Amino acid sequence: MLRRMVRTGLDVLVEDRAAELRGARLGLACHPASVTRDLRHAADVVSATSGLDLVALFGPQHGARGDKQDNMIESEDHHDPRLGLPVHSLYGKVRKPTPDMLAGLDVLLFDLQDVGVRVYTFAWTMALTMQACGEAGLRCIILDRPNPIGGLAREGPILREGFESFVGLHAIPLRHGLTLGELARWLCATGRVRCELDVIPCEGWERGDFHDGTGLPWVMPSPNLPTLDSCVPYPGMVLLEGTNLSEGRGTTRPFELVGAPWLDPHALAAALSAHELRGVRFRPCWFEPTFQKHGGRTCGGVQVHVTDREGFEPVRTTVALLAEARRLAPNDFRWRDPPYEYEVIKPPIDILWGSDALRVAIDGGAQPDEILRATPAELARFREAVAPCLLY
């Protein structure tokens, strides 16, 4: 496999552009995957770069240093144990930086590794941070990183008005095919967010590259996406969070394993194989999550084995999985009740999908082709709208 020597926005900043920020008081939004090519953490390298004055850190979901393992566990404000700097939590009492958090800053650097999926909260931490910077008169600089599952494929529906939440604040597809820097440019270009924005692009990344083609080290962006293999099915399998099916949390293969104590693994694997889905095979299996749904109980289900990740359609695959799980176990399959990611009224599956259409269709016995019939036209319109904002 060809490995390009990609430089992230962080690498470009500290190697080539640090002089531009001399004399500015800097804040930095970061997490464990905010590292240079040689695995130095962004907070450490920025604070050690001559002329740069780092005075505060901002932590998204799971924390600036990765202190929270499980999903939807809030972080408190604290001081960084290595640098002694204040760390403001953006996944706790607030999700948008407050004026007090930004007081005294001149520039806010934003360096998070995204995974290219609308429901991954880092994109919306970025959008709210940009908004707060605009209101405070601060410059916001996005240190861009590659989309680890490539920037060519897009899947799933566009978020519908009325279904906005912290897993989708603006109308983009489920698998959006953008980097965070490109998304930030689109948010500003369309007037959804107003701020003084600068994006420092990656160097050497091409849209078709998956992360293992970049030459960059892999650091898990959140605890339940431990490998690139777990990121590939994630754009679809994350929908299982809106059900009572285990999505493999509490196992060593999150988002590759799916099941429940009441599912027949062989019947499920056979039903899914009959859909003739591209780039994937299903192995019947049993597993026991150590925590989260069905923790300590044996689940029957399948492991999703991706055989061709360019052809694989994770959203279509998961829609088929949901349809078959409900058909095989109609008395046991359930949609999860709220609250979920700060939404207390709408069902989690609705804010994950971006409307109630998936839930209604699955409950009505619809099949994937019918459910996804409208998405190609939606994706074509989005592709045209976002084209001026692409960097790669």
* Fold of the domain built from segment(s) 228-373: Aspartate Aminotransferase, domain 1 (3.90.1150)
Domain boundaries, the chain: 9-217, 228-373
| pLDDT on residue 5 | 84
- On the question of a common fold for 9-217 and 228-373, the answer reads no
Spatial distance between the Cα atoms of 158 and 213, rounded to a whole number of angstroms: 29
Pair 83, 143: CB distance under 8 Å: no
Sequential DSSP letters for 1-50:
------B-HHHHIIIIIGGGGTT-EEEEE--TT-B-TT--BHHHHHHHST
* Ordered per-residue pLDDT tens for the chain, 392 residues: 455 689 999 999 999 999 999 999 999 999 999 999 999 999 999 999 999 999 999 999 999 987 665 666 788 889 999 999 999 999 999 999 999 999 999 999 999 999 999 999 999 999 999 999 999 999 999 999 999 999 999 999 999 999 999 999 999 999 999 999 999 999 999 999 999 999 999 999 999 999 999 999 999 999 999 999 999 999 999 999 999 999 999 999 999 999 999 999 999 999 999 999 999 999 999 999 999 999 999 999 999 999 999 999 999 999 999 999 999 999 999 999 999 999 999 999 999 999 999 999 999 999 999 999 999 999 999 999 999 999 99
| pLDDT on residue 86 | 96
Question: CB-based contacts of 312: which residues, under 8 Å, 6+ apart?
Answer: 232, 233, 278, 279, 280, 306
* Fold of the domain built from segment(s) 9-217: Rossmann fold (3.40.50)
**Cis peptide preceding 339, ω within 30 of 0:** yes
- The b-or-e profile of 243-279 (16+ CB within 10 A means b, else e) is bbbbbbbbbebbbbbbbbeebebeebbebbeebebeb
What's the half-sphere exposure (Cβ side, CA atoms, 13 Å) at 239? 26
| pLDDT on residue 3 | 56
| pLDDT on residue 73 | 77
Amino acid at 223: P
Query: DSSP alpha helices (H): ranges in 49-199?
Result: 99-102, 122-136, 180-189
